[in-house]
Structure 1
Amino acid sequence: MDNEVKTWLYDIQTAILEIESFFADRPKEFANYQADVRTKRAVERNVEIIGEAMSRI
């Protein structure tokens, strides 16, 4: 496998783990997510990173 592809896959994995970490200490309820602007922005940014890496693969 190409090293660039491995790097992008690593970026995807890291972004997923970061998203999961945002919800490790609290219940996963959409209302709580919706009310927390910082978490929403952080999740959105990680989804952007995932999408960008996938498009490069």
Structure 2
Amino acid sequence: MKTTELRNKSVDELKVELTSLLKAQFGLRMQLATQQLAKTSELKRVRRDIARVRTILAQKVA
């Protein structure tokens, strides 16, 4: 997910995006725990996307 795409979204859309990313992260963690996760790089990608969304949310709210 690109930063420019996130900057064009409203605060409500960013919050929805954040909740979906957090759910995806939870699912990936469960797959990792049960040894079903094939691509461990997905965890890193989702974690960084969550950080991007939270950063842009903080910038927009402040």
What TM-score comes out, normalization by structure 2 length?
Answer: 0.57
Q: Which runs of 5+ in 2 are unaligned?
A: 1-8, 58-62
Residues 18-51 of structure 1: CA distance to partner in whole angstroms, max 9, x if unpaired?
A: 121221xx5737xx5xxx661x211111111111
What is the RMSD computed on CA atoms of the aligned residues? 2.7
- Please say if residues 11 and 49 of structure 1, whose CA atoms lie closer than 8 Å, have aligned partners that are also in contact: no
Higher relative contact order (CA 8 A, sep 6+): 1
**Closer/same/farther in 2, CA of residues 55 and 20 from structure 1, 3 Å limit:** same
In the alignment of these two chains, the number of paired residues is: 48
Q: Aligned partners of 1:27, 1:55: CA distance in 2, in Å?
A: 26
Report % sequence identity. Answer: 6
Write out the 4+ residue segments of structure 1 that deviate beyond 3 Å after TM superposition: none
